[in-house]
Amino acid sequence: MATDEAAGPDGPPGALSDDAFLGGRVRAMQPRKGFRAGIDTVLMAAACPARSGDEVLELGCGAGVAALCLNARVPGLSLVGVERQPDYAALARHNARRAGAALDVGEADLAALPAGLRARSFDHVMANPPFLSRGGGTAALDPGREAALREDTSLDLWLDVAARRLRTGGWLTLIHAAARLPELLEAARPRFREMRLLPVSAREGRAAGRVILRARKGRGEGCVLLAPLVLHAAPSHLRDGEDFTPLAARILRGGALLPL
């Protein structure tokens, strides 16, 4: 993603970067040293099957990049984001204002959503929960990045909150580490009837590093495991520069819907 140094809403020059997504159709300010949205965020937004007029909730919206990418593809959405880190929530609001997007961002923990939000239901919920389990891996030096990457709220609670906020027939779109697929399915099975799973592999023949789950509340049935999405065309990294497969390029640069 293209990056330029910038002074943020409340930050000194260089503290934030002004990053381009979807070939420049979306721009968002993000911390240079904190958690930064990238390919996973764009893929999640691309996999959400929202249509104009739908209401969409993103749990853990960070700086708002996923919601803005979805907004760029599907006009006329009502977007709500929840983010527990105040600095990131402020950035999401700033990025939404700059984009002219109807994104309402609230500061809250998933375990204690405000009453007004608990009273609402949505056509879609998006989520990109922390990939690292408690105690796993090396702690990030930046506290914002550590909070975004390491699980504090259980995956089961993420799925429970998503299911409660969805209307019957609504869809959850979630991206997670492929290594945690057993936990993800265990949490999803009691709450969703129809599930579609898309493994995401960096290159042909490589094990999937990510999995995208699209799950429907209260309708449909069964679980379908799709053929993997391969991101890069070359068998290995040969040179600097992009080598996306045609489908990955249409999604990551052209803003196309990711078919599931």
Instruction: Tell me the angle at which helices 39-47 and 65-73 cross, rounded to the nearest 10 degrees.
Output: 40
Identify the pLDDT of residue 235: 82
Mean residue pLDDT across the chain: 90
Is the domain spanning 37-252 CATH 3.30.830.10? The answer is no
Q: Taken in order 35, 10, 97, 250, is the CA torsion positive or negative?
A: negative
Q: What are phi and psi of 158, to 5 degrees?
A: -55, -50
State the Cα–Cα distance between residues 102 and 249, nearest whole angstrom.
Answer: 27
Question: pLDDT for 112-154, tens place per residue?
Answer: 999 999 999 999 999 999 986 765 555 545 554 445 444 578 9
**CB-based contacts of 246, cutoff 8 Å, min separation 6:** none
Identify the pLDDT of residue 8: 52
Rg (CA), the chain: 17
Residues with pLDDT less than 70, the chain: 1-14, 132, 134-151, 238-241
Contact (Cβ atoms closer than 8 angstroms) between residue 72 and residue 35: no
Question: pLDDT for 216-243, tens place per residue?
Answer: 999 888 999 999 999 999 887 766 667 9
Instruction: Tell me the angle at which helices 155-165 and 181-188 cross, rounded to the nearest 10 degrees.
Output: 40
> Which helix (H) or strand (E) is 95 found in, with range?
helix 86-99
Identify the pLDDT of residue 6: 52
Identify the pLDDT of residue 14: 63
The domain limits of the chain are: 37-252
